[in-house]
Chains A and B, each alone.
Chain A
């Protein structure tokens, strides 16, 4: 489903070229559970941003569902993001002035889904994520775990094929972190591909496939036989 062919990403810093990703070749299939690990600065977040179409490769080709998405214009890239990709961030990135329900509703609003249908879908999701009694609360009235659950609900309301999670538990204590992880893994069970960026090896080990990155290269690609 996701195909990277010889993808590089080079940043210009103070007139100097700094390669963040060097000649990445990667193939992910639908419904896969992949973790990307590595020290900070190894390019894991850059890779995630490229997969999520938030950034463009300097060279190489990226195919998503057989479509070359590197050449798409802004409008179409946004559409692909909207329909196929969900983001979960370390710092949740909820809109502070909007209630939990409205934060979850946001992708539907952007997609132009009619209000009646929006309400139903948000209501269902709130219910299944155990947030029904928190619908009207603003993010600052929610606990960290609740916030991340709202963020996951927002990432999945468009029923994306891929879920990109950048240190989703990095800002949570251990117990809530575990809850959030089990929620994400539950989604993998439902057929969503989960790409998890983390520097925590214990967390990374849970994934069926593990990528190790160092210095902008994938140095190891192992599969966890027992869980696969």
Chain B
């Protein structure tokens, strides 16, 4: 019997038991679809987090005041002194590194904002013109902070979309005056609504020049400095340069923490990748359940078709041929089942994508391959026993029964 005939015969017997075949394909496809959809969700979550990080800006190095020691004692603690603040001079000094493209110092505080009769407490962010490209912010109206020296104050401010809505309503905000604490600022721009990104809502901000913020809050200290490296390859150098420069600035003491966005990102990436694998593994269990189901149904099929098997033997089919026939059936079943499952999985992912457009739901290629392989593998593995049983059937007994 040649291969085409074997496949034709096997598909014929599958068509002969239509409901059995459909149920098996269903079980198989649900298993495969589960793997595809769950890994797509896991992968989607990973890509979502990665996306969130890159919306913070790319090639970022962040300088924070204070140093977290994981081991030993902070010398400052013994001497009874705290670490020094990061001031604007320090931030300016960071630009000496050739690995650094631009920096944005950040100062944060809250102040009462009022326009006319309306007022509310707002988060005020002091920074420079470079914050816009570094943080990948977008403007809806007007312009961003002027590119002036970071040491000089200027009574201008840029509003977050929500602040604009709440204080100005439909009124034009650009050009109007806004009171922040005891000072007056001219509104020169409004940020586009971007929503939450990594816990910071740019819709709920008022951005002012950093020197103005320092005057407003009566401080010199920076909350942190965002440093953008010139390229991805230069991130490590930028980090090292930042540490060295800060050490020089602070009299040889390492009292700042420099983290790279990449390090944080890589950690998240690893965690979520592991999560995807775990979820995919759980789904793979359902696939093996489908495999057991296939075995069960194939065994029943052998019992139901004893007569046919006996007949085939009487007509001159050796045991190996019978085994091959049942084998071909299992391969066809799990093959069609996996195909249907992939389709189902893609549709499911697409539907989830419709409901949660923010989540990039799409199964990674390795998961699709793994699901397909596992389905085919379990189908074949679990058909070995039924096929053997069919092959070992005694033709005399098989034919004696009516």
Contact = CB atoms under 8 A, between A and B. Distances in A.
Interface string A48-67: 01001011000000000000
B318 A78 contact: yes
B315 A107 contact: yes
Interface in A87-113: 87, 89, 91, 93, 95-98, 106-107, 109-112
A173 interface: no
Interface stretch (B95-103, B254-262, B286-294, B394-402): B394-402
A110 B1 contact: yes
Nearest to B2: A112
A159 interface: no
A75 B307 contact: no
A95 B311 contact: yes
Interface stretch (B10-18, B124-132, B183-191, B348-356): B10-18
A75 B1 contact: no
Contacts of A106: 312, 315
A81 interface: yes
Interface in B296-352: 307-308, 310-321
A110 B316 contact: yes
A75 to B, nearest CB: 5
B89 interface: no
Given A112-B1, A112-B2, A52 B314 contact: yes
Nearest to B16: A97
Given A89-B399, A97-B13, A110 B317 contact: yes
A93 B313 CA distance: 12
B314 A54 contact: yes
Contacts of B313: 54, 78, 81
Interface string A153-168: 0100010000000000
How large, as a class, is the contact surface on chain A? 20 to 34
A74 B316 contact: no
A79 interface: yes
A109 B16 contact: no
A113 to B, nearest CB: 10
Given A109-B1, A110-B1, A75 B320 contact: yes
A215 interface: no
Contacts, number: 68
A83 B311 contact: no
B307 A78 contact: no
A52 B315 CA distance: 10
A82 interface: yes
A173 to B, nearest CB: 18
Interface residues of B, number: 27
A81 B315 CA distance: 7
Contacts of A49: 396
Interface of A is mostly: helix
B186 to A, nearest CB: 86
B5 interface: yes
Contacts of A109: 1, 5, 9
A75 B313 CA distance: 11
B286 to A, nearest CB: 32
B394 to A, nearest CB: 8
A10 B310 CA distance: 21
B315 A154 contact: yes
Nearest to B13: A97
Interface in B361-402: 395-396, 399-400, 402
B396 A97 contact: no
Contacts of B400: 45
A158 B314 CA distance: 13
A197 to B, nearest CB: 13
27 contacts: A49-B396, A54-B395, A55-B396, A74-B318, A74-B319, A78-B317, A79-B316, A79-B318, A81-B313, A81-B315, A82-B315, A82-B316, A82-B317, A87-B314, A87-B315, A93-B307, A93-B314, A95-B308, A97-B16, A106-B312, A107-B315, A109-B5, A110-B315, A110-B321, A111-B316, A112-B2, A112-B5
In the A-B complex, the 5 residue pairs with the closest CB atoms = A82-B316, A78-B318, A97-B16, A81-B316, A75-B318
